[in-house]
């Protein structure tokens, strides 16, 4: 099993005829993801790579092919509109890869999705990859291995790094999930941890956080109260100066809150080992996980 996707996942790619959308659609198809349609307004009637029909709207893709999941490769100015469209058409999972989506746009999107029971992953994220089931986004398939370790991360680059280390150590993954580091995102640590905790395939998991916000602190409280599975964490940005954004729009220490020290303290108080370096994550997991 995996979280958020299964064998019934049927994907429509919004922005399929663009450079990034086209490249990553080919990668998703090559992995075995069921990409049933693409959408680019004004390009309806085309066929992408002689395989995937292209429509002018998501509603057509849902009606004709039963698409229930959208992956969005649309420029920032149109990304929120693409999320609205996918949700309104009936997609229950939307993965928005786009970087630079205005926060004010996401503030408008979230209540719309909540009313319709739609899960959003992202924006500004690498998406998710469930080994042997589906690749939704840009995570490199060559580094994953099927297995029992879940991974959720605010950082795309660290997602790749730690997945590679897990695979190299012979520890396969149940689901690799990049949630993004913007101030307003659809799926947060708490959502992912609840899902991993309920997933029978996931026996242990890794949480990669970073400075800014209080998502890691809230996750630590939930883990302490509800999770019995082994968990290891890492917090990026430990040397970041206050008031300076580091990488992600949400990765900023402001007013003395959101520091790495605060997050590490909260995690350790919940009994969660925190690695000092990404290189230490897998050894720490092996220490506490008696397989």
Catalytic residue positions? 248
Beta strand pairing call for 134-137 and 274-275: unpaired
Is the distance from CB of 151 to CB of 102 less than 8 angstroms? no
The DSSP secondary-structure symbol of 141 reads G
CA angle 140, 141, 147 (to 5 degrees): 125
Is the distance from CB of 151 to CB of 159 less than 8 angstroms? yes
What the block records as the tokens of 150 is 């879940």
Q: For the purposes of burial, counting CB atoms within 10 Å of the CB of 49, is it exposed (0-12), middle (13-18) or buried (19 or more)?
A: exposed
Which residues neighbour 9 within 8 Å (Cβ) at sequence distance 6 or greater? 33, 34, 68, 69, 93, 133, 134, 136
List the one residue out of 189, 179, 193, 183 whose CA is nearest residue 122.
179
List the one residue out of 193, 228, 194 whose CA is nearest residue 208.
193
Could you give the CA distance from residue 250 to residue 103 in angstroms, rounded to a whole number? 10
Could you give the CA distance from residue 72 to residue 220 in angstroms, rounded to a whole number? 31
List the one residue out of 156, 160, 210, 158 whose CA is nearest residue 183.
210
The residue whose two tokens read 């949480």 is 207
The DSSP bridge partners found for residue 93 are 69, 119
Is the distance from CB of 258 to CB of 212 less than 8 angstroms? yes
């Amino acid at each position: 099993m995996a979280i958020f996707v299964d064998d019934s996942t049927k994907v429509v790619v919004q922005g399929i005829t663009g450079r990034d959308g086209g490249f990553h659609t080919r990668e998703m198809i090559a992995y075995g993801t069921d990409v049933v349609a693409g959408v680019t307004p004004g390009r309806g009637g085309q066929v992408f790579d002689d395989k995937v029909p292209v429509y002018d709207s998501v509603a057509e893709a849902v009606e004709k092919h039963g698409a229930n999941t959208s992956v969005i490769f649309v420029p920032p100015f149109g990304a929120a509109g693409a999320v609205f469209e996918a949700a309104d058409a009936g997609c229950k999972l939307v993965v928005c890869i786009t970087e630079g989506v205005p926060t004010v746009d996401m503030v408008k999107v979230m209540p719309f999705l909540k009313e319709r029971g739609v899960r959003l992953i992202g924006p500004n994220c690498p998406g998710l990859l469930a080994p042997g089931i589906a690749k939704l986004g840009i995570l490199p398939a060559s580094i994953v291995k099927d297995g029992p370790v879940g991974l959720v991360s605010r950082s795309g680059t660290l997602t790749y790094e730690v997945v590679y280390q897990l695979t190299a150590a012979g520890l396969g993954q149940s689901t690799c999930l990049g949630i993004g580091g913007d101030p307003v995102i659809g799926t947060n640590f708490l959502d992912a941890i609840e899902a991993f905790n309920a997933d029978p395939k996931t026996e242990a998991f890794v949480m990669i956080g970073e400075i800014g916000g209080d998502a890691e602190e809230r996750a630590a409280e939930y883990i302490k109260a509800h999770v019995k599975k082994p968990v290891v964490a890492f917090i990026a940005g430990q040397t970041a100066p206050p008031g300076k954004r580091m990488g992600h729009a949400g990765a900023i220490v402001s007013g003395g809150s959101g520091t790495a020290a605060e997050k590490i303290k909260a995690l350790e108080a919940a009994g969660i080992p925190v690695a000092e370096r990404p290189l230490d994550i897998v050894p720490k997991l092996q220490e506490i996980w008696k397989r």
